[in-house]
Amino acid sequence: MFGGAGIYAEGRMFALVSDGVIYLKADAHNAPAFEREQLEPFTYATRTGRRGVMSYRRMPDRLYDDPDELAIWARAALAAAARGEVGKMRAKTRRRRSSRAT
C-alpha cells in the first residue's frame, strides 16, 4: 500500500511516516484544521502508475518543536482513526446482512 511506517496507539493507526514526513489521520471532524494550513494529503503510486490518496494529511512542521500542540493534533488524529474504525465495522455488518438476505 505505501512504503512507510504506521504509528499506532490503542491498537489504531493514527499516523504514518514516509520519506521522513509524518502524516496524521484526518476525517470530516479534523480535516478543516489541515485545510486551514494548506497541508496536503498523503499520496502514493499504485501498481498501475496512478496516484492513491489516503486519509492522512501532512503534520504541520511547527509541531516538531511544540510537544503540547503536537499532543492536541495527535489526539484528534487518534479520534479520527477510532471514528473510521467504527464506520468500517458498520459497513462490514451491512454487507453481511445483505448477503444473508439473498
H/E stretch holding 1: none
Q: What is the pLDDT along the chain (102 residues), one digit of tens a residue?
A: 457 899 999 999 999 999 999 999 999 999 999 999 999 999 988 889 899 899 999 999 999 999 999 999 999 999 999 999 765 555 554 555 555 555
Non-local CB neighbours of 81 within 8 Å, separated by 6+ positions: 12, 13, 14, 25
Report the pLDDT value the prediction gives residue 2, as an integer from 0 to 100: 58
Q: What is the pTM of this model?
A: 0.80
In one-letter notation, the amino acid at residue 73 is W
Q: What is the pLDDT of residue 88?
A: 55
Predicted local distance difference test score (pLDDT) of residue 32: 97
CA distances from 39 to 15, 26, 31, 61 (A): 14, 11, 10, 10
| Residue (of 68, 69, 8, 82) closest to 37 by Cα position | 69
